[in-house]
Amino acid sequence: MARKPEAVGRPAVSRQSDGTGTRMRALDEHDLAELPRSGRLMTALVEIPPHDPGTPPHRHSGPVYGYLLEGELLFELEGDPPRLVRPGETFWEPGGDRIHYQAANPGAVWTRFVVVMASRPGEPMLTLVEPAELETRRHRCHPEEER
């Protein structure tokens, strides 16, 4: 049975304004159970130059929520096929043990996105994965993307 890619959240839901002319549209939603009980939240602007592979394979200690502002982002999580994220789209990764293989810029213009990252107490926000560990986990890659 095919599993649903975890990097895709629930569909966007439009919300009615509060009567002041302000509008809100949810872009992505996820269950709060994935958030650490305590720790830190960080909001960051990430910028990747044209034709750049981005950060090497890594993991986060908590979930990461992203919103693409400009450019394109080739996004790949362990077990899921890579997907191209375009401006106005969101991406999500659960954090924990799951490896984030790609956040690459395949295009000719800068890629810019905002992320909100949660980290568990005493753990770094991002940890690079050593080549030896990547080799032991090759079988977890999406079949089309085995390394």
In the predicted structure, residue 10 carries a pLDDT above the cut 60? no
- Mind listing the domains of the chain with CATH numbers? 41-145 (2.60.120.10)
Q: What pLDDT sits at residue 3?
A: 38
Contacts for 19 with CB less than 8 Å, ≥ 6 apart: none
In the predicted structure, residue 15 carries a pLDDT above the cut 70? no
Q: What pLDDT sits at residue 26?
A: 84
DSSP secondary structure letters along 49-93: -TTB--SPSEE-SS-EEEEEEES-EEEEETTS--EEE-TT-EEEE
Structure tokens that stand for 46 in this block: 């990430």
Tell which residue, 70, 61, 71, 69, has the closest CA to residue 93.
61
Q: What pLDDT sits at residue 1?
A: 36
Query: pLDDT by residue (tens digit) across 81-139?
Result: 999 999 999 999 988 899 999 999 999 999 999 999 988 888 888 999 999 998 899 88
